[in-house]
Structures are given as structure tokens and as C-alpha cells.
Amino acid sequence: MDHAPWISLRYIQATALRQRIPPRFIQALKTDHSSYRISPRNRLGLWAIASLSQPALKPMDPPTTPSSVNADPFPEESWPDVSDLVTEDDTPVDNIFSEKQQRLLTEPLYSSRPDAAFVALANVGLFYRIHHPPLVPDMLLSLGVEIPEDVWSKSHRAYFVWEFGKPPEVVIEVVSNREGHEADSKIRDYAAIGVKYYAVFDPEKLISGRLLRLYELHGASYVERTGQWMPDIELGLCLWEGTYEGLPAHWLRWCDQDGTPIETGAERAEREHQRAEREHQRAERLARKLRIVLFPRINALIEIDV
């Protein structure tokens, strides 16, 4: 049985009017005029489009039946056809710093948590509505999901919300000019699709006097956080002044609750190398002490025996 969400006629009409939804997009399956259901193929499209409507206009709760309580919010039969979508257009990242910064936000997570289930992507399309261009955050983090093995499939070449079953928990934008809309349209877009945390890193202070701002979703809008620790995902963001891949700068990094940056693979390897070197030096010092103390005694014992 198809447990499509029940949506009021007034809600459908208001959403269709604002978003210019074609009449064929809505299929009435009831004869009365109090409620309508959406066809499985177009259901997700209307949900996503309606998610950008005014917060006051919300779908009515679906009937609470045993089979619908735990229903998949993105059932496979409702996934749209993505064969004609442009998932990559070969547009380069905007500058060298941004390219390195994006890697610094993804690589440490994978090298420090090899067995955890998550997706950390940089400069990859975030598709949340059909027939609409994606958002392309500098970095996104989605927990509890995994990258499909067949990454060459068209449906796996980007972050499709209906494929992964949810929006990412964290989106980060790195400001490189004043035309990126990080503080206006993007903050509204990410809130509308349900991204829990939105961070804006402004290394040149182009749009703000602060390097870092972190927002948390409350209801339908973001509220700026006073701290950078995100307890429900057990991660934080911190500013770090240092040299990464030969470039000294102020960088944005993931950190633990104490504010200690999560190591990159190179940093971890260097730390292990230094630890091994210290152990080797300690063993050498101990061997020298043993030679100094024991060798004279051994020689004396040999002379006595002779």
C-alpha cells in the first residue's frame, strides 16, 4: 500500500503558485476536496520544492498506521531520473588556498576514523531538488552513510539527498570573494533543506570582521553558536595558524572537545616517527649506560678467572 503523505489542498495550491509547479506535477487520487496525494514518481520533487516554501505552510502528518510509522522517507520508487542532470562541469576551484583548505577538512576525518561510516566531500554537488541546480559547498559532512562502491554511476556521482536518505549534518563555505552569497542566499538554502550546522570561514575577512561563524538550525532558520563544538556529532571546528603542505596561513580545522586539531595523515605519521625515534634514542642511552657499568665488571671477572 502506498502511504504517500497527505497534504492539504490549500498547501498544494499555495506551493504550486509560488514555485510554478506544472499542473501535471500534482495527481489527485481522492474524489473529495479536502486532501490530495502525490504520485510516487513526483512525490519527492514536490516535497523538496515545498521545503523551500514559507515555514508556516507544512504538510499534514501522514496517517499513523503500523506500516507507515517506520516508512522510508525516500523510498526508491520515488527517486527521480538523474540521467540528464549535470553532476560536474569541470569548473575549477577558485584559488590554491581553497583547494588546500578543502583537503584539510576532508583528509583528517578519513585518516583518523577509517572504520567510521560517514561521507566527507569537497566541492561536490549537493542535489536536493529535481529540475534545480545543486548547491556546491566547499565541504560537506554526512554521518551514518557510506559512499556507494559504484561511484561511476550517474546516480552516485554527487550527493543526492534522496539517495543518501538525508541532508548532510555539516556544510562549510570558504569565502574567497564577495559574490559567493555565503551570508544571504546560501544560509537560507541550507536551512531550507535541513542542514544542521552551517559554517562560514572568511580567511580574508571579506564579508565579516570575523574569521569563523558557525550556525545551528533551530526550526526553519539558523542561530549563530557562541562556541565551535557540536556535541551531537562529537566534532568541533577551530582556527589553526600553521603550515599545511608548505603554505603558512590561518586554517580551519576539525578539532576535539578540548580544541585540539584532528591530525592529518602526515601529522600522525610524523608523530609516530618522532615517537619511534625517541624510543630508539632511549634504547641507545640505556645501552651506553650498560656498557659503561657492566663492561669493567665483566673484564674484572675475566681477569680473576685467568
pLDDT at 121: 96
Q: Give the rounded percent of residues in the chain with a pLDDT score beyond 70.
A: 66
pLDDT at 165 over 50: yes
- 45-49, 163-167, 175-179, 196-200 — which one is most confidently predicted on average? 196-200
Look at residue 149 and tell me whether its pLDDT is greater than 90: no
Give pLDDT tens digits for 6-25.
344 444 444 444 444 444 44
Other beta carbons within 10 angstroms of residue 132's beta carbon come to: 14
Confidence category of residue 139, pLDDT binned at 50, 70, 90: very high
Residue 79: its pLDDT value, please? 59
Q: How far is CA 233 from CA 11, 69, 88, 256, in A?
A: 34, 26, 29, 11
Q: Which residue has the higher pLDDT, 157 or 78?
A: 157
Q: What is residue 286's predicted lDDT score, i.e. its pLDDT?
A: 79
What confidence score (pLDDT) does residue 27 get? 43
Tell me the C-alpha distance between 25 and 15, whole Å: 12
Spatial distance between the Cα atoms of 250 and 217, rounded to a whole number of angstroms: 27
d(CA 242, CA 231): 26
**What percentage of the chain exceeds 90 in pLDDT?**
45
Q: Is the pLDDT of residue 240 over 90?
A: yes
Torsion of CA 269, 271, 273, 279, to 10 degrees: -150
Lowest-pLDDT range, 47-61, 64-78, 197-211? 47-61
Across the chain, what does the average pLDDT equal?
77
The least confident of 181-190, 243-252, 265-274 is 265-274
Q: Which fold has domain 96-263?
A: tt1808, chain A (3.90.1570)
Cβ-contact 211, 250 below 8 angstroms: yes
- What's residue 18's pLDDT? 45
pLDDT of 111 reads 94
Which amino acid appears at position 3 of this protein?
H
Query: Which of 204, 152, 136, 148 has the alpha carbon at shortest distance from 175?
Result: 204
The domains of the chain are located at 7-78, 96-263, 275-306
Q: What is the pLDDT of residues 79-136, one digit of tens each?
A: 556 555 555 555 655 789 999 999 999 999 999 998 899 999 999 999 998 778 899 9
pLDDT at residue number 81? 61
In this prediction, residue 218 carries a pLDDT of 96
In the predicted model, is pLDDT for residue 153 greater than 60?
A: yes
Cell of 264: 592529518
Angle, vertex CA 90, rays to CA 88 and CA 94, nearest 5: 110
| The model's pTM | 0.65
Q: How far apart are CA 95 and CA 206, in angstroms?
A: 15
Q: Residue 20 has what pLDDT?
A: 46
Task: Compute the distance between CA of residue 5 and CA of residue 60 in angstroms, rounded to an integer.
Answer: 7
pLDDT in tens, 252-286: 999 999 999 999 999 988 888 788 878 877 878 87
Round to whole Å and give the CA distance between 224 and 235.
Answer: 17
Long-range contacts (CB closer than 8 Å, 24 or more residues apart) made by 67-72: 67/1, 67/3, 68/3, 71/3, 72/165
